[in-house]
Amino acid sequence: MGKIRVYELSKELGISSKDLIKHLIDLGIDVKNHMSTLENTEVEMIRDLFNVSKQNIDMEEDGSKNKGHDNYKNKLNKGTDMKKGSNVQKAVKTIKIPSSISIKELSELLGIKVNDILKFLLSHGISSNINSNVDFETATMIGAKYNIEVILEEQQDIESIYLTEEPDREDQMEPRPPIVTVMGHVDHGKTTLLDAIRKTNVTSSEAGGITQHIGAYTVELNNRKIVFIDTPGHEAFTAMRARGAQITDIVILVVAADDGVMPQTIEAINHAKAANVPIIVAVNKIDKPNANAERVKQELSEYGLIPEEWGGDTIFVPVSALRKQGINELLEMILLLSDLLELKANPNKRASGVVIESRLDKGMGSVATVLVQSGTLKVGDIVISGTSFGRVRALIDDKGRRVKKATPSIPVSVLGLSEVPNVGDKFYVVPDEKIAKAISDYRKDRLRQQQYNNINKLSFDQLFNQIQEGKIKNFNIILKGDVQGSLEAIKQSLLRLSNDEVHLNIIHDGVGAISETDVMLASASNAIIIGFNVAADAKARTLATKEKVEIRIYRVIYDLLDDIGAAIKGMLAPKVEEIILGRAEVRQVFKVPGAGMIAGSYVLEGKVTRNAQVRIIRNGTIINDDRISSLKRFKDDVREVAQGYECGIGLERFNDIKVGDILEIYAFEEIPR
Ligand SMILES: Nc1nc2c(ncn2[C@@H]2O[C@H](COP(=O)(O)OP(=O)(O)OP(=O)(O)O)[C@@H](O)[C@H]2O)c(=O)[nH]1
């Protein structure tokens, strides 16, 4: 008799291939998928095992004709019925378990010997060992046998248990320094201003300290601290926000008095507004003979930044970064505004905050600059950020000095983490290293899972669905166009599309190609990017894929308005849906001159068609996405190959195909709404 495949045996036993594979792995038999072949001895062993359960159950059920797994299921169901039935004995006790539990733990909770549980399971066709996990349903059945009620404990993951911050009481809150980001058009003097601030306000106690670039620095005025993020521009600001970290309290908008409002000035205003962060305007270069501060005020008022003397509430401070004039006035205004904002935090608890810069240092290992948002970070604390964790070996401040602790808003570099954490990730202090490691493991698993599921951000379709369900009231758009004229026309028409239920917001618009900054802003604001006669540059496209931001390019205004209008009205044009056509397994790889690598494959299910899309899956992970460029049966080109046949598949770009890879063939289909 020839070898038998997993799926064949699973049919014979009446259980799913998946369940059979689980049993086989429990038994220590190495199988990869439902196509794997089994040795005769292995097949006999499994058949035996299932006969045990079959006989047992047949006896109990008076010769019922059901086979293996059905009996198992029936038996399980019978267990439930017994429990629910009227003549059931009252449960002797109740235990709480998680959704999956090891047999060892279950035996302890139930007070039943491990061996008894294993026997019980085996009699139901489940081979297991002391470390195997059983699901909730199975645990309930085991409990039922011993008259013990098993209930599900509240679902709580390790993150929510350890990283949820309890709200602070008002009396625990203390004032904290403001965190400031400087933005503005290129060459308007951001860097010069940051330098001037840094140099003018070094306190005497700090003199002598060598300033270090750690991503942020602290200055003092009237014994009060102000923290500046020292990467100027809105890119860092928005990148941070895209990761869910909003750390900036106040934006300083630098506008050169001799140049006035320029495209990046507007961009910066939009970014700050999208983040709801108040702006102080620093009118720079007032030393220049052609400086015209009034013109700057005039121009900015068109963007809603109206100076106080004109009845508005925006603070304008004239400065010369080059000559270090007006710096103290600017700092005073920052303090004034932060008093109004009542910036506070509780310093007396375990610290949490955000990573603002990170690097790998040859000597020191992972170096991460963090801003403490609440609590106090101390040397010796156990920190977790993303999947990186460790004991804080040292804290270094912006003057290069080792410090013992960092209070709210204060930037410090942290030494001692296992990996380099991501900028924008939150960090938390946890009670001990075991917990940090467990959270890190949990996150690594989740990342792998997410990679596999390829979770999407809001796509146009999802957005549409959510609008329909009434979940979304705001439709955020970033609009880029080739010329100002058409941009204005589109903007006006788009804004007219808003209705009572859905409000359309153009959070940013501008002339020029779609850039990385646009994608970041879109990601941070859950917006969709619309390009009119402009494309996205390569970097922006890569980032958009990574951040799952949708970019839509139009060449005809009507099409653009039609689509958006339809989305808002809830009548979107045909929906494009992905359909899986089939799966093939690569059995052999050969090189064909002129045609590249050809994957000799066996069609496991469905069919393979020429020109279809294909995902290359290796060990359960999608490693690439490509298109079929050639499809052959022996020497002939064919249009499609059906299940059970072998074929040669050539791919358009991917060149690293390996034996054992699974090719998932799919296509897009238009589904009318
Ligand atoms: N006259 C005058 N020149 C200034 C002043 N502030 C900056 N500059 C000059 O303007 C130029 C640009 O200044 P930066 O500080 O590099 O401008 P930036 O906004 O940081 O520019 P990017 O980093 O390129 O975006 C430099 O040549 C500065 O010396 C000022 O107050 N007065």
ipTM, two decimals, is 0.98
Residue 149 to residue 374: CA distance in whole angstroms: 43
The confidence score (pLDDT) of residue 370 equals 95
The residue ranges of the chain whose pLDDT is under 50 are 1, 54-89, 155-156, 203-208, 451-458, 571-574, 673
Distance 195 CA to ligand 1 centre (A): 11
Ligand 1 lined by 235 (C-beta under 6 Å): no
Contacts of 562 by beta carbon, 8 Å cutoff, 6+ apart = 573
The confidence score (pLDDT) of residue 90 equals 54
Find the helix or strand (DSSP H, E) in which 172 lies: none
Enumerate domains of the chain plus CATH numbers: 4-53 (1.10.10.2480), 93-152 (1.10.10), 173-344 (3.40.50.300), 352-445 (2.40.30.10), 470-571 (3.40.50.10050), 575-671 (2.40.30.10)
Distance 199 CA to ligand 1 centre (A): 16
Distance 290 CA to ligand 1 centre (A): 15
The confidence score (pLDDT) of residue 332 equals 96
Nearest CA to ligand 1 atom 2: 285
Ligand 1 lined by 186 (C-beta under 6 Å): yes
Residue 264 to residue 257: CA distance in whole angstroms: 15
- 310 DSSP assignment: G
Helix (H, G, I), strand (E, B) or coil at 394: strand
The confidence score (pLDDT) of residue 157 equals 59
Amino acid identity, position 404: K
Summarize pLDDT for 590-616 with one digit per residue, the tens: 888 877 889 999 999 899 998 899 988
The confidence score (pLDDT) of residue 280 equals 97
| CA 527 from centroid of its chain's CA atoms | 16
The confidence score (pLDDT) of residue 79 equals 36
Amino acid identity, position 581: L
Ligand 1 lined by 190 (C-beta under 6 Å): yes
Ligand 1 lined by 181 (C-beta under 6 Å): no
| Torsion 445-446-449-451 (CA) sign | negative
Query: How far are the Cα atoms of 89, 249, 315 from residue 337, in angstroms, in the given order?
Result: 70, 10, 9
Residue 288 to residue 655: CA distance in whole angstroms: 60
285 is in an annotated binding site: yes
The confidence score (pLDDT) of residue 470 equals 56
Q: Which atom of ligand 1 is nearest to the CA of 195?
A: 15
Ligand 1 lined by 321 (C-beta under 6 Å): yes
The confidence score (pLDDT) of residue 346 equals 95
Nearest to 135 by CA among 94, 103, 109: 103
SS3 percent helix, strand, coil of the chain, rounded to 5, is 35, 30, 35
Helix (H, G, I), strand (E, B) or coil at 456: coil
Ligand 1 lined by 320 (C-beta under 6 Å): yes
Residue 232 to residue 626: CA distance in whole angstroms: 40
Distance 411 CA to ligand 1 centre (A): 26
Most ligand 1 atoms within 8 A of CB, residue of 191, 254, 330 to mutate: 191
Summarize pLDDT for 492-544 with one digit per residue, the tens: 888 888 776 677 888 888 888 888 888 888 888 788 899 888 778 778 888 88
